[in-house]
Amino acid sequence: MQGIATICRAMQRVRLLILNAALGPLDYKLPEGVEVAPGQVVVAPLGPRTVTGIVWDAGRLPGPEIDASRLRALREVLPVPPLAEPLRRLIEWTADYYCAPLASVARMVLSSGGAIGGPTTMTEYRLSGGMPERMTPQREQAIEALEGEQATIRELAGLSGVSEGVLRGLVNQGVIEPVSVAIDRPFEISDPDYHQPALSGDQLTVAKRLVKAVEAQEFAPFLLDGVTGSGKTETYFEPVAEAVRMGRQVLVLLPEIALTENFLVRFEERFGAAPVQWHSSLKSTERRRAWRAIANGEAQVIVGARSALFLPYKQLGLIIVDEAHEISFKQGDGVRYNARDVSVMRARYEKVPVVLASATPALESLHMAASGTYERLELPNRFGGAVMPRIELINLTEEKPGVGKWLAPPLVAALEDRLAKGEQSLLFLNRRGYAPLTLCRNCGHRFQCPNCSAWLVEHRLSARLTCHHCGHETAPPQVCPECGEPDCLVACGPGVERIADEVAEILPEARVAIATSDTLGSPERAAQFIAEAESGAIDVIVGTQLVTKGFHFPELTLVGVVDADLGLEGGDLRAAERTYQQVAQVAGRAGRGSKPGEVFLQTRHPDAPVIAALEAGDRDAFYAAETDARRDAGAPPFGRWAAIILSSEDEREAREAANRLGDTRPESDDLYILGPAPAPLALLRGRYRYRFLVNARRSANLQEVITCWLDSHEFAPGLRVGVDIDPYSFV
Ligand code: ADP
Ligand code: ZN
């Protein structure tokens, strides 16, 4: 401490990383008697306004120095702990690696802006039980919707669908009352010895190795490679417990909010208390409370979505990335980072172990394990003697579903059999809604999104035509907008809702549930679904990729993959791997209890290598073939890809900017650049998109080449340039 104070007194001038990507670093002087340390969050004047910034280490942010006489003084040092050095280095690394502005990365760290130096209490509102003097339809709507809710006025307006003005009117009348919420009220304490389960031999071996790594408090990356149902969670709870005993914080990243519920239940059984949660549907008071507890070290175990990775942990001791192969760890816009990869970097800077857990690891992760960079830990068997399910192919070119139907006779027979036995079935189709495409039967008009080059998807449950890219929605029209024919809509192809209808026809007495982000969008709804599925109140689950992850339903003995070929369409680089992972994961939901599971894959391409590998249950063969294909293509992990997307509301502006950029493409032996070409999604949210793909050898300095290339151009204000390093989406 002494050391830091001395340095900072000497540091009369400070350079700030400003939380605004349009501004570079700015220099200020310290007011008389004020001391700051690197990492401190401060407020500084800028013209007539003020900006928030982070005091950065001297010499690490490039840029000209302005003369001391022109420096303005910092306005205020905010009372939050300074961002520690490992986190500052992580911010720099992330910005460099993903070609993103430092400010954008820093904003993720300080994402809960209100938590910074804000008050220690906040006001939330709830119904008081009283009634307004005059009832209006909007007031009635609000009172009905807000039963049992408590949140800020803005959040309540979102929940009830009425304006904040209407709610304020109800506050004035005493119908809605304010409640003071303490932001710093403590979280429950996790007890590392609350309930220790008896681990199997394999589990114990793995757990001991990880506990040792936690005790060592050194950087150590692990790949926990365990089959579905092997008990990876129970196993990694042991090093979690050890870190808690040592007074260190643990971050557990999960790919999906819908999975959190299952995790919370198991966590409470093991630790006797709930962990601290971090995800996008937290209320603002919960967000502030969590942020502050994380920063001051009070939060012990934090379970969160990928954004939890950038929080300012006071004393991290361990990071777990569960279902580490999941593509939802990759952020698709803003800073396009992959939380799996950044978590390894964070662990490196923090000098702590990191565990990537998966039954179907990404090829990149297996490669790191094979080369010895990651230590591989294996759980080759299911816990408690459950056996892996048998996988059978249904060749759709021979076993045809009925006209306008999607389930082939053997799958139908298996569904009937399970219902008769009182066992559960799961049908997997990665398509939300009723049908992916809607036509006019008279003129063939296709319903397309006005803002995107994409079809509108019919959702019958909500009676909407919806764009899955921008969220545009309309009611299905009474007459065709093209030819005027009434009642003309024809649904083409199946979505989960249509499959659910088909099941209801085949098995009228079955209780069918649809599990997608539309039906399980909030933690509460996910919890309700899990409770119903576990209690046996559901016979058939029809779901999207959401049901491939993490769920554990002991009575589930049949899995049907409605269209195993679906993921192979579209030709993206990881199509085969993703198909393998999705099918293997969804198959892994079957037979996790005492009864064995059976899996049917409906396919038109039984000979495709990935389908054949799935049938044979031969993971190694699949990965070996995929490794060869990637090596030939110079794809990761052997080479690297980057995408550059230029977009504008003006088609011509986008095209011409892309062509101009293309004219100055860098020439190099170790990388080549494809494009520009219209992106497969040529129009997205009203912006026209042109794309370059860069394929580089590992020897190339990909980021530097791209940054120099882009920096040498001036782009019009309406033009956006997005860089995606290690892209997952090629649209
Ligand atoms: P995975 O994540 O590897 O697919 P899970 O962690 O979901 O597997 O474990 C499968 C099931 O086995 C869960 O219900 C889990 O509670 C149970 N289980 C695993 N290990 C143990 C253990 N040592 N003691 C008791 N139950 C266990
Ligand atoms: Zn759209």
Write out pLDDT tens, residues 561-591. 999 998 887 657 788 899 999 999 999 888 8
CA of 133 to the centre of ligand 1 (A): 56
CA of 322 to the centre of ligand 1 (A): 14
Cα separation, 222 vs 242, in Å, equals 17
CA of 230 to the centre of ligand 1 (A): 6
Which pLDDT score, from 0 to 100, does residue 489 have?
Answer: 86
| Residue nearest (by alpha carbon) to ligand 1 atom 10 | 229
Q: Tokens for 233, please give them.
A: 């969670």
Cα separation, 490 vs 448, in Å, equals 14
| Residue nearest (by alpha carbon) to ligand 1 atom 12 | 231
Which ligand neighbours the alpha carbon of 468 most closely?
2
**655 closest CA partner among 628, 630, 679:** 679
Average pLDDT over residues 713-729: 92
pLDDT beyond 90 at 238: yes
Ligand 1 pocket test: pick from 234, 262, 530 the residue with the most ligand atoms within 8 Å of its Cβ. Answer: 234
Phi, psi (deg, nearest 5) at residue 699? -75, -20
CA of 233 to the centre of ligand 1 (A): 7
Measured CA distances, 104 to 57, 60, 282, 706, 718 (Å) = 18, 17, 21, 18, 19
Q: Which residues, listed in sequence order, are joined to residue 512 by a DSSP beta bridge?
A: 540
| Residue nearest (by alpha carbon) to ligand 1 atom 5 | 231
Which ligand neighbours the alpha carbon of 269 most closely?
1
CA of 552 to the centre of ligand 1 (A): 9
Cα separation, 87 vs 214, in Å, equals 19
CA of 472 to the centre of ligand 2 (A): 5
Q: Tokens for 155, please give them.
A: 């959040």
Contact, 516 vs 401, CB < 8 A? no
What strand order describes the sheet that includes 464-466?
A: 457-459, 464-466, 473-474
pLDDT tier, 283 (very low <50, low <70, confident <90, very high otherwise): confident
| Residue nearest (by alpha carbon) to ligand 1 atom 23 | 199
Which pLDDT score, from 0 to 100, does residue 114 have?
Answer: 59
| 232 CA closest ligand 1 atom index | 3
Q: What is the 3-state secondary structure (H, E, C) of 663-718?
A: HCCCCCCCEEEEEEEEEEEEEECCEEEEEEEEEEECCCCHHHHHHHHHHCCCCCCC
pLDDT tier, 1 (very low <50, low <70, confident <90, very high otherwise): very low
Measured CA distances, 643 to 99, 470, 717 (Å) = 11, 21, 21
Which pLDDT score, from 0 to 100, does residue 527 have?
Answer: 85
| Residue nearest (by alpha carbon) to ligand 1 atom 19 | 231
pLDDT tier, 3 (very low <50, low <70, confident <90, very high otherwise): very low
Q: What residue type is 409 in one-letter code?
A: P
Which pLDDT score, from 0 to 100, does residue 5 have?
Answer: 45
| 226 CA closest ligand 1 atom index | 3
Average pLDDT over residues 144-152: 89
Cα separation, 579 vs 146, in Å, equals 42
| Residue nearest (by alpha carbon) to ligand 1 atom 18 | 231
Q: What angle do CA 709, 715, 716 make, to 5 degrees?
A: 175
| Residue nearest (by alpha carbon) to ligand 1 atom 2 | 232
Least trusted range by pLDDT, from 204-208, 291-295, 548-552, 701-705: 548-552
State pLDDT tens for residues 92-111: 999 999 999 999 999 999 87
Which ligand neighbours the alpha carbon of 447 most closely?
2
CA of 282 to the centre of ligand 1 (A): 28
pLDDT beyond 90 at 549: no
Q: Tokens for 10, please give them.
A: 């000497």
Q: Tokens for 376, please give them.
A: 């591989």
Which pLDDT score, from 0 to 100, does residue 730 have?
Answer: 77
State pLDDT tens for residues 7-29: 444 458 899 999 998 888 999 99
Phi, psi (deg, nearest 5) at residue 589? -80, -15
Ligand 1 pocket test: pick from 326, 387, 552 the residue with the most ligand atoms within 8 Å of its Cβ. Answer: 552
CA of 546 to the centre of ligand 2 (A): 22
State pLDDT tens for residues 59-76: 999 888 888 888 999 999
State pLDDT tens for residues 284-338: 888 889 998 999 999 999 999 999 999 999 999 999 999 999 989 999 888 999 9
Residues in the chain: 731
CA of 232 to the centre of ligand 1 (A): 7
**In sequence order, which ranges of 535-650 are alpha helices (DSSP H)?**
575-587, 609-616, 619-633
Q: Report the predicted TM-score, pTM, of the whole model to 2 decimal places.
A: 0.91
Cα separation, 603 vs 605, in Å, equals 5
CA of 266 to the centre of ligand 1 (A): 9
Which ligand neighbours the alpha carbon of 465 most closely?
2
CA of 182 to the centre of ligand 2 (A): 41
| 379 CA closest ligand 1 atom index | 3
Which ligand neighbours the alpha carbon of 467 most closely?
2
Contact, 90 vs 109, CB < 8 A? no
**Ligand 1 neighbours by CB, cut-off 6 Å:** 197-200, 203, 226, 228-234, 383, 552
| 198 CA closest ligand 1 atom index | 23
pLDDT tier, 6 (very low <50, low <70, confident <90, very high otherwise): very low
| Residue nearest (by alpha carbon) to ligand 1 atom 27 | 231
| 233 CA closest ligand 1 atom index | 6
Which ligand neighbours the alpha carbon of 231 most closely?
1
Q: What is the 3-state secondary structure (H, E, C) of 170-219?
A: HHHCCCEEEEEEECCCCCCCCCCCCCCCCCCHHHHHHHHHHHHHHHHCCC
Tell me how many helices (H) and strands (E) the chain has.
20, 29
Which pLDDT score, from 0 to 100, does residue 117 have?
Answer: 63
CA of 617 to the centre of ligand 1 (A): 21
**346 closest CA partner among 376, 316, 368:** 316
Ligand 1 pocket test: pick from 203, 224, 233 the residue with the most ligand atoms within 8 Å of its Cβ. Answer: 233
* pLDDT more than 70, % of the chain: 97
Phi, psi (deg, nearest 5) at residue 155? -65, -40
3-state helix, strand, coil in the chain (%, to 5): 35, 25, 40
| 200 CA closest ligand 1 atom index | 23
Tell me the pLDDT of the chain averaged across its residues.
92
Cα separation, 380 vs 206, in Å, equals 11
Terminal CA-to-CA distance of the chain, rounded, Å? 51
pLDDT beyond 50 at 435: yes
Contact, 231 vs 379, CB < 8 A? yes
For residue 193, with 0-12 CB atoms within 10 Å meaning exposed, 13-18 middle and 19 or more buried, which class applies?
A: exposed
CA of 523 to the centre of ligand 1 (A): 22
